[in-house]
Copies of this chain bind each other. A is one copy, B any other.
Amino acid sequence: MSGSWLDAVVFDEHGLVPAIAQDAGTGRILMFAFMNRESLALTQASGYATYWSRSRGKLWKKGEESGHRQRVRAMRLDCDGDVVLLQIEQEGGIACHTGRESCFFRQLITQDGEPNWQTTDPILKDPSRIYSS
């Protein structure tokens, strides 16, 4: 986990940095997660996205169960050094655990003066079939 590039990343008080995953081809935002120093180093070394699961308290090799790995095409860092952007190829075309392409499948749409989150994206694969193995 050496490397001055890692020292340029500003981790928060929990040792984490937010990471945005964007489809390198279409530009669509696919998901948002967190990384610690180790997951960031592993992502760079392996070429596949590894996050830190806050709920499980362990490294999360994206796609390890689902097969929906994320091949990293580029990594970017913001002006403050405290947010990482991954430009990726999404294997299987599904990033979300709901079986959708993107986790951002709800849009705020106003009807009769009332804004509401409406689901705009289809389920591409039943989650029970993604995680059945």
Residues of A within 8 A of B (CB): 3-5, 8, 18, 20, 22, 26-29, 31-32, 44, 74-80, 83, 85, 96-98, 100, 103-108, 114-117
Interface contact B27-A117, CB-CB below 8 Å: no
Distance, CA A75 to CA B106, complexed state (A): 8
| 30 CB < 8 A contacts A-B | A3-B114, A3-B115, A4-B116, A5-B108, A5-B115, A5-B116, A5-B117, A8-B117, A18-B18, A20-B32, A22-B29, A26-B27, A29-B76, A31-B78, A44-B108, A74-B107, A75-B107, A76-B104, A76-B105, A76-B106, A76-B108, A77-B106, A77-B107, A77-B108, A77-B117, A78-B103, A79-B97, A79-B98, A79-B105, A83-B103
